[in-house]
Structure 1
Amino acid sequence: MIGLTLAASDYSLLTDLYQLTMAATYVGEDLAWTPASFELSVRRLPRGCTYLVAMGLAQVLEYLQQVHFTPEQIDYLKSLAVFERAPAAFWTLLSQSRFQGNVWAVPEGTVVFAQEPLLRIEAPLWQAQWLETCLLNIVNYQTLVATRASRLRQLVGEQVALLEFGTRRAFSPQASLWAARSALAVGFTATSNVLAAQQLGVAPTGTMAHSLVMAIATLVGSEQDAFTVFLRYYPEGALLVDTYDTLAAVAQLADRQAAGEIVVKAVRIDSGDLLTLSQKIRQLLPQTTIIASGDLDEAEIRRLQAGGACIDVYGIGTKLVTGDPVNGVYKLVEINGQGVMKTSRGKMTLPGRKQIYRRPSGDCLALESEENVWGKPLLELVMKEGRPLFPPASLETIRDRHRASLAELPETLLEMPQPVVYSPALEALIQQLRHHP
């Protein structure tokens, strides 16, 4: 039985085959050690997004520190027919595969826009190429979740709690951990994922499921009996009130509370007309926290807010951790000191090692070698010769950085992206390579 679980020792093979066939080609053509720079960026923002939030750098640096080929993995690759003509030097190269390059990156939590590099790898050509697949996997998903979480936090304000409920819908067990971290890092209040909470040093949160209500109601007597039992063990807990008749359940809870029988701290509604239900629940239980969940997204929360919903906490799952992806790409931008670019229609890339300069009027994308470009540079050297220069940032640090990044940008950011302009030198290089590649 193959569990298909992933360990750090597996990282080297977590790549697409063509990364390795290209690396073998570079070795055969004596190009493997040519200095190269690849940048990871997003050509177009995902639907409904006006910006991105860079996330995943901590896992990138961990990956780069651990990735290497074991003798068993090299033997496996040697057994593949596709490598029958691979040069002998290729296998020697793989056995000495520890990453010793440099990494420039936008710190996690920073707001970025289309075409701007989230990170740059500077390493020998064969190695920078081989890393592409896993780097994109790490950064794309976490950036997607962080971006959605950021927009939701801006939408509801600081007083409303946001709970990450996405574990059962995330694309894998590993993705569920990344999703929880990404959401918490940019402003979500808590996660229901116990493992993520334990690893991140925070307290998990949760309510109850309909199955508990149905089980106890069936075996003991009624829905109210289920609530009584639950509150016996969790007096601060939230009661899920929409298993049967939501308003009837809440009305009975209100009567019982008025009689001094119980204290209802919180209730959760997961279905039905959340707008009307929340308003009527507030009338019946004015001091009780109302939690809403059930495939909520940005558009639905806007509708609820506009209608005057009485909701104190939103639980967000499916629409936070799934949907339209961040379609990040990882492209060669410089080889042996020469800028390169892809010119195909709709997939053009920007040449040269670049720096992002943040300005109030909009970002400027410039060549890294340019001097005296006005603005705040965003890309930082975070790894030198394979060694990280800083410890991983805490959730609090990323959250504070994200707030500061948002504060630098217009209040209209939720509705309209900031413009990005190219420096004259970058524009000149683009035109040069567009006509004379």
Structure 2
Amino acid sequence: MPDTALSLTSQDYSLLTDLYQLTMAACYVGEGIAEKRASFELFTRRLPEGFGYMVAMGLAQAIDYLEQFSFTSEQIAALQATGIFANVPDRFWEVLASGRFTGDVWAVPEGTVVFANEPILRIEAPLWQAQIVETCLLNILNYQSLIATKAARMRDIAGSATLLEFGTRRAFGPQASLFAARAALAAGFDATSNVLAAIQLGQKPSGTMAHALVMALAALEGTEDEAFQAFHRYFPGATLLIDTYDAIAAAERLADRAQQEKLSLRAVRLDSGDLVSQSQHIRQLLPNTPIVASGDLDEFEIDRLQTAGAQIDSYGIGTKLVTGKPINGVYKLVEIDGIPVMKASEGKATYPGRKQIFRHLEAGELKGDRLGLITESPSRHEQPLLQPILKQGQRSAPADSLETIADRALTSLHTLPDRIRRIHDPESVSPEISVELERLTEAVKRQGSREQGAGERGG
């Protein structure tokens, strides 16, 4: 295989992991603890700067990954050929060869709003399995949750305007472009220009045209207007990109044609210049023609345009949707063989034990969250967010449709007070820590201190 071949198939995902996941798994096998039951929780320690909430997304792809988790003989041979595993027991290769994901998964349903330090997914599985899957789960859930959160913020600001996902060319790779399109649609966007993503998701792709077509046809066939006419011969009424040369002049000519020929025109698109003044002028020229705007847009620019009185009906959003500040998701061990554990590092401490998020809603509005142990019960007005998804590697329920997730995202967003939803200086929610979780945390800390002290004395 040439060294440029970096393709990715569903079978490759088991090796799509960091090396230390495999070396730790080999160590677990050697120490005889690989099959001990372990629980890991995935959460973010902090939201990206300027975010008041996060929209959980990517669960469907995470579950697909876990259901297909396995190692082929070719993959095992490739690992052996690295020489890195020369000293591991033969049993390690037997574990990989016969291994499938046999654990349980609890997760927050996709489209649900969550906050920092709230687990959106928990894996309960044999230790070696729960360890190896960390990297891929973080990759899937961190990125889709980021895109979904940004898309939800844009949907909230844009109101009833149409939102189009145009980010494929700026996404972090082909797979990321599919994840971004899905997350955007699930969080409130109306369509994507990514043809593969749209078809795989059962959607209709949406797009316009590029300046290249206008320049090519104008150069070879005479004028910008003839370029527009040529495009309409094959795609009648399609949206026209009118700012290749002079957007206002193009709109004036289209207005004349509309009067003379009863021109059918779905929309016009602007991709540069002063979008406020241009859209206002074009609205006067083409009062019944929707205006699409694109070009480095985000929720802040949409807000600015609307406040300034721009006459824009649709927004095509790419770069600032599919890139940006990452979701700092982490995946931490919280229980091993029934023993609660925690990380005590300064600034990175975690809470021990398997947990549940209890959401307090009254009259459809969020009043707060409580982080407690899985053994606790919800109080009045509370509902538990983490739901069982896989049991012994088998689905507990069918996957949600994209429409169901989008409805959930919209409903969840509307439970938030304005102070959390706003894009400028938003507030956030810190979950209340239950009394039982506080007690367990203190007990595990004391135990850790005793074990550390014993180790120091023994040394």
Instruction: Output the TM-score relative to the length of structure 1.
Output: 0.97
Partner AA of 2:92 in structure 1: F
Partner AA of 1:367 in structure 2: L
Q: CA deviation at 1:406?
A: 2.2
Deviations along 1:328-377, one digit per CA (max 9) or x if unpaired, are: 10110111112111121222222111000111321111011123545100
Counterpart selection for 2:397 from 390, 397, 404: 390
Equivalent residue number for residue 150 of structure 1: 152
Partner AA of 2:166 in structure 1: F
Q: How does 1:30-429 map to 2 (within 5 A)?
A: 30-157=32-159, 159-260=160-261, 262-360=263-361, 361-374=367-380, 375-415=382-422, 416-429=427-440
Partner AA of 2:394 in structure 1: R
CA separation in 2, counterparts of 1:261 and 1:176? 39
> How many residue pairs end up in the alignment?
436
CA separation in 2, counterparts of 1:105 and 1:372? 17
CA separation in 2, counterparts of 1:372 and 1:231? 59
The CA RMSD over aligned residues, in Å, is: 1.3
Partner AA of 1:264 in structure 2: L
CA separation in 2, counterparts of 1:412 and 1:201? 36
Q: CA deviation at 1:198?
A: 0.8
CA separation in 2, counterparts of 1:23 and 1:263? 63
Deviations along 1:141-189, one digit per CA (max 9) or x if unpaired, are: 11111111111111111x2100010111111111111111111112111
Contact 2:116 2:430 in 1 (8 A): no
CA separation in 2, counterparts of 1:434 and 1:307? 55
CA separation in 1, counterparts of 2:402 and 2:23? 39
Contact 2:44 2:116 in 1 (8 A): yes
Partner AA of 2:140 in structure 1: I
Q: CA deviation at 1:81?
A: 2.2
Contact 2:187 2:409 in 1 (8 A): yes
Deviations along 1:292-322, one digit per CA (max 9) or x if unpaired, are: 0001011111110111110000001111111
CA separation in 1, counterparts of 2:84 and 2:77? 13
Q: Which moved more, 1:336-345 or 1:163-172?
A: 336-345
CA separation in 2, counterparts of 1:373 and 1:7? 45
Partner AA of 1:395 in structure 2: L
**SS of aligned partner of 1:376:** strand
Contact 1:102 1:385 in 2 (8 A): yes
Q: CA deviation at 1:52?
A: 0.8
Contact 2:359 2:369 in 1 (8 A): yes
Equivalent residue number for residue 444 of structure 2: 433
Contact 2:167 2:317 in 1 (8 A): yes
Contact 1:54 1:111 in 2 (8 A): yes
**SS of aligned partner of 1:83:** coil
Listed as ranges, the gaps of 5+ residues in structure 1 are none
Contact 2:378 2:384 in 1 (8 A): no
Partner AA of 1:394 in structure 2: S
Contact 1:99 1:386 in 2 (8 A): yes
Runs of 4+ in 1 over 4 A off after TM superposition: none
**SS of aligned partner of 1:40:** strand
Deviations along 1:397-429, one digit per CA (max 9) or x if unpaired, are: 111222222233323332322331111111222
CA separation in 2, counterparts of 1:73 and 1:165? 36
Q: 1:402 to 1:255 in 2, by over 3 A?
A: same
Deviations along 1:7-62, one digit per CA (max 9) or x if unpaired, are: 11112111111001101111111111111100000111012211111111111111
CA separation in 2, counterparts of 1:340 and 1:182? 33
**SS of aligned partner of 1:107:** coil
Q: CA deviation at 1:258?
A: 2.2
Listed as ranges, the gaps of 5+ residues in structure 2 are 362-366, 449-459
Partner AA of 1:120 in structure 2: R
Partner AA of 1:58 in structure 2: A
Partner AA of 2:444 in structure 1: L
Deviations along 1:74-119, one digit per CA (max 9) or x if unpaired, are: 1222222221110121111111210100000001111111111110
